[in-house]
Structure 1
Amino acid sequence: MSAFERNRSFTQLIEFEIEPRQQQALVSALVEQTERLAQGCGGFLNASVQASDDGRRVLNYLQWQSREAGEAAFRRFESGEQDFWQLILTHRAKTVSFGSFQVHSSIARSHDDALHCHLPD
């Protein structure tokens, strides 16, 4: 892996397909879990929990400074330290899809309303 690839941030996307009556409870549980990750895992950059309008899907977006940081956090999920598998069972997820992505560029609006593009070093 080149230095350029190592310096790219790393994104994990976890999509849950659920019954609409489970959506709000799952969103709340993921928000709580994401807050614990932000406090307890090194390399955390940002995250969001998103709910579909039809009530059938929830997307958890997690961004890390590196692939290693993201994978270490996921190992905490697998070991039960963050109760991830219990979360899936409790909220009766029909399917759970995982995706991992290297960030090649990002664009964001700053507090002064300017757009900033970031390309990894």
Structure 2
Amino acid sequence: MQTSAKNRSFTQLIEFQIEPHQQPALVLALSAQTEHMARHLRGFLSASIQASDDGRRVLNYLQWQTREAGEAAFQAFENGEQDFWQLIRVHQAKSVTFGSFQVLHSLERSHDNALHCSLVGER
């Protein structure tokens, strides 16, 4: 069964390359911004903020119900109290890489230790 592209969930990956001493503050700032988006923006599904062991990278993973919800969230992030570009400057990011993806397949373990697979559809 095919699902239209409009009904697929949408993932944004944002990777920051920074100096190790900047990592804790960037993680804290992204955590606050992500919690704010989760509370106030429609379509939020999940998020994680991951830090590399060497301290030089931070990955912000955001998942939304639709592409439109993800794009609206990024616009809100850009125009927020601490806008996205200010966040980059304050934490002296050397580079920022953006990625957007349609979710086609997911696998997760439930509280009862069962694996649940979801095939969203083919392109």
Normalising to structure 2: TM-score of the pair? 0.92
1:106 matched to 2:106? The reply is yes
Gaps of 5+ in 1: none
Q: Quote the RMSD (CA, aligned, Å).
A: 1.5
SS state at 2:107 partner: strand
Whether the 8 Å CA contact 2:3–2:120 is kept in 1: the answer is no
2:63 is matched with 63
Whether the 8 Å CA contact 1:43–1:69 is kept in 2: the answer is yes
After superposition, the C-alpha distances for 1:23-79 in whole angstroms (9 at most, x for unaligned) are 011011111110001001100000000000010000000000000000001111222
1:45 matched to 2:61? The reply is no
Q: Distance in 1 between the 2:59 and 2:48 partners? A: 8
One-letter amino acid matched to 2:83: D
Gaps of 5+ in 2: none
How far apart are 1:4 and its partner, in Å? Answer: 1.7
- The aligned length equals 120
Whether the 8 Å CA contact 2:12–2:70 is kept in 1: the answer is yes
Give me the identity figure in percent: 70
Q: Distance in 1 between the 2:119 and 2:68 partners? A: 19
SS state at 1:27 partner: helix
2:93 is matched with 93
Normalising to structure 1: TM-score of the pair? 0.93
Whether the 8 Å CA contact 1:77–1:85 is kept in 2: the answer is no
How far apart are 1:84 and its partner, in Å? Answer: 1.5
One-letter amino acid matched to 2:38: A
One-letter amino acid matched to 1:73: A
Runs (4+) of structure 1 exceeding 4 A deviation are none
Q: Distance in 1 between the 2:120 and 2:39 partners? A: 24
